[in-house]
Amino acid sequence: MKLVIVTAVEQFQKDVLKLFKQANIENLSSSDIDGYKNNSSLLMGSSWFSGEKGGNESSLFFSFAEDENIENLFKFIKEFNTNLETNNPLKAVVVPIEKFI
C-alpha cells in the first residue's frame, strides 16, 4: 500500500475524480488549495495590487491505494496530460508507507 497524491487546477476536479474511478481507487480525500508558480520578485513588486492573493484555485487529492491501481492511475494521468490545451498538467506523486493501522 502506498499514498498517492494528485494536484490539479480547479477546472479539472471532475476529471481527476473520473481518473481515480477508472483506476479502481474508490476511496480518496480531497482539499481545496491555492496553487502558485514562482514569479520574478521584480514582477511581483511592480504589480499595482502586489499585496493581493495571486494563487490559482486548485485541488489536492490523496488516497492510500495498492500498487497496481496507482500504476493505472499514472497511466490515465499521463494520457490526460498529453491531450491538454493548457499549461496546467495534473501532477502526481507516490509516497511509500512504512506502517499503518
Sorted by where each begins, the domain ranges of the chain are: 2-36+55-96
Query: Over the stretch 35-87, which tens digit does the pLDDT of each residue have?
Result: 777 765 444 444 444 455 567 789 999 999 999 999 999 999 999 999 998 88
Beta strand 56-65 with 29-35: parallel, antiparallel or unpaired? antiparallel
Q: What is the pTM of this model?
A: 0.81
Q: What's the average model confidence in pLDDT over 8-12?
A: 94
Q: What is the pLDDT, as a whole number, of residue 78? A: 97
Q: Which residue has the cell 514582477?
A: 43
Average pLDDT over residues 4-30: 96
Q: What is the pLDDT of residue 40?
A: 52
Predicted pLDDT of residue 48: 46
What is 2-36+55-96's CATH number? 3.30.70.120
Q: What is the pLDDT of residue 34?
A: 86
